[in-house]
Structure 1
């Protein structure tokens, strides 16, 4: 339970950092590690792809929306190894559920012994119950960098995507962000991992609430990223059935 509380606290901390300091200062790659390695590269990449979609046709005002979609997919491809690791961990946790249930029934009156035996089971099968949290924690700095790139580089305000003002909150995308976050967690098997199960409820609610107050561009990033991960997981999940069978032996 302590680990769950710690993880949720970390997520809240990262999300509150979205409104962090220097939000109105221009991006300066010489102004420290955060700007140099996170905000500036992301802002430059968004601008680069927006220019590729540029046209004299007024309809290409949507180019920043398409740029966000392309950059989101690139980021998810770069973090693919972490997603694979999370998927493997979820499959292993599913395979260990019968043994974990036996341990819970045997030591239901002794919480200390219950935790000890559960950890022994994880160590025996080389399973890290918190492995599934890593992709979420990695995404948080990227989400914060998106927020800074939007406001400090003045890329997004004034531009639209499919009629949606990217610089303003949009309730439709906010709700979609929450729904797709839940769908992603379920597809990744979070419900089978005791350490991740709490996130399956809390994280979608958090994302939805924050998305109601932050620019639609940020919600678009989250929705596209979730949809990409859901699709990716759908086609990949059967690749690890052997791991699940092997863990149960």
Structure 2
């Protein structure tokens, strides 16, 4: 057990420092406004921690969006592979993975932000749990600040308390239930937003669609069941993170939707309305005309070489010349 504990400490110690540095930095700011022992200052510090973490994950989010879009656009080709190799599961898997590799698509990229956030989530959970149970701090969070964090109250409930260990405090239970419901609802709505607005019809069936539907229903269920054991501060972190994801995803879907989706059609209508209001031609009108025009081969045509003919064949094809000069010529040739 000591060996496993050393490994856990080796992994978690850097995370404790990262989380505590950001948390204490925000607490210095909000503590000067609301007081260092105020629950509002600690709640806002947790929100600030969430914003910093999510801002740092923007590159991963962009990669997730690109990979998700590629997965959607590749669904027709994936279906062709299923028809061709449906009888051979091993060959189908190999060909599908080769298709993803050739197009630079990672089917697991959609989970990257969630996977990266889990260690941060665990570190914050441990900080709150240790502060509540033992009053111990980690990283740059001193024991005094840990005690303040453990005792800080938000709407009458301690930030470090959970629904399960509320000791019959109905205020803590109500706050915890509200945040669990908010966390579950935002998780569901975020995934639903992606599937209903930014997925083409071809992507709504097949393995990728099944994966998305699984995430749509399983993730909220997991968070709902596990949420009753999370401290209020952790529930606040995860709900804020989900709201960030919803806003970030809404912006991307609205301004850069995937082709052949409801979001793309809505954007086209908005662009046409804006162009009409400014008296400009509708966007894409020129390109639409260009698509309808037949493609012309502009390469220079090769000059056709004349076939070799005998003198008799050339004489038979030559027009008859009634002039005396022509007759003399013919007579000369006959001689």
Please indicate the TM-score interval, normalised by the length of the shorter structure: 0.7 to 0.9
Relative contact order: is structure 1 or structure 2 higher (C-alpha 8 Å, sep ≥ 6)?
A: 1
Residue correspondence of structure 1 range 89-100 to structure 2 within 5 A: 89-100=67-78
1:45 equivalent to 2:22? Answer yes
Structure 2 gaps, min length 5: 131-136, 138-145, 163-175, 261-335
Query: How many Å apart are 1:166 and its aligned residue?
Result: 1.6
Contact 1:174 1:211 in 2 (8 A): yes
Normalising by structure 1, we get a TM-score of: 0.75
1:120 equivalent to 2:98? Answer yes
Q: Which moved more, 1:151-160 or 1:54-63?
A: 54-63
Which residue number in structure 1 is paired with residue 158 of structure 2? 165
Contact 2:34 2:40 in 1 (8 A): no
Query: How many Å apart are 1:125 and its aligned residue?
Result: 1.5
1:111 equivalent to 2:86? Answer no
- Aligned partner (choices 233, 236, 239) of residue 252 of structure 2: 236
Q: Which moved more, 1:180-189 or 1:218-227?
A: 180-189
Query: How many Å apart are 1:240 and its aligned residue?
Result: 4.5
1:72 equivalent to 2:72? Answer no
CA 1:55/1:122 → structure 2, altered by over 3 Å: closer, same or farther? closer
The structure carrying a bigger helix percent of its residues is: 1
Tell me how far apart the structure 1 counterparts of residues 56 and 161 of structure 2 sit (CA, whole Å).
28
Work out which of the two has the higher radius of gyration on C-alpha atoms and give 1 or 2.
2
The DSSP-based 3-state class of the residue aligned with 1:85 is: helix
Which residue number in structure 2 is paired with residue 147 of structure 1? 125
Query: How many Å apart are 1:103 and its aligned residue?
Result: 2.1
What stretches of structure 1 move > 6 A for 4+ residues in a row? none
CA 1:184/1:156 → structure 2, altered by over 3 Å: closer, same or farther? farther
- Aligned partner (choices 180, 187, 190) of residue 181 of structure 1: 187
Aligned residues: 216
Normalising by structure 2, we get a TM-score of: 0.57
Tell me how far apart the structure 2 counterparts of residues 188 and 137 of structure 1 sit (CA, whole Å).
19
Query: How many Å apart are 1:161 and its aligned residue?
Result: 2.8
Contact 2:63 2:109 in 1 (8 A): yes
Contact 2:40 2:154 in 1 (8 A): yes
Q: Which moved more, 1:144-153 or 1:69-78?
A: 144-153
Structure 1 gaps, min length 5: 1-19, 23-30
